[in-house]
Structure 1
């Protein structure tokens, strides 16, 4: 939703009041601003403003973080000989453990 105007730098209190004028369903950004606050919204907009951004589903976001933690645990626990044991413990095959440890060299 593009609204361009010369609003310039306004105090946070003004921006908070502005957000409160709108229902959360006016724009996802209004709802996000109302939930996280004006300062945090400013950081998000500064970082992502004008970019095309893929927003994952909530389930996918958490699953990706869980996989990253699992993969790091596998890397930390690998001792050079326990690939099969790690695969069984984490419910993946040894080829997947190898990919986690060494990249996609097994293709």
Structure 2
């Protein structure tokens, strides 16, 4: 048993106690063992949610619902257009119902 195993919540400073309170003292000790004084970065919630949000927007995009998606996600239509630009191109390039594709025939 090492000395770290004897460290209790009351031995920690305020910031350490807050973190240990969130994750538990055992997880806090494991974090200390793994990083041992090395600073670690905790990302903002938005940076983790943004890729998920953008993927949902791409999935929900139907080729013309820019305004609806902008309102739903609290973004501008321009921002929605930037997110779905590749999917918009794919939708535009698809043959319309009843139309045949010449892709592979002409080029």
* Bigger radius of gyration: 2
What TM-score results when the alignment is normalised by the length of structure 1? 0.49
What TM-score results when the alignment is normalised by the length of structure 2? 0.49
* Greater relative contact order structure (CA < 8 Å, 6+ sep): 2
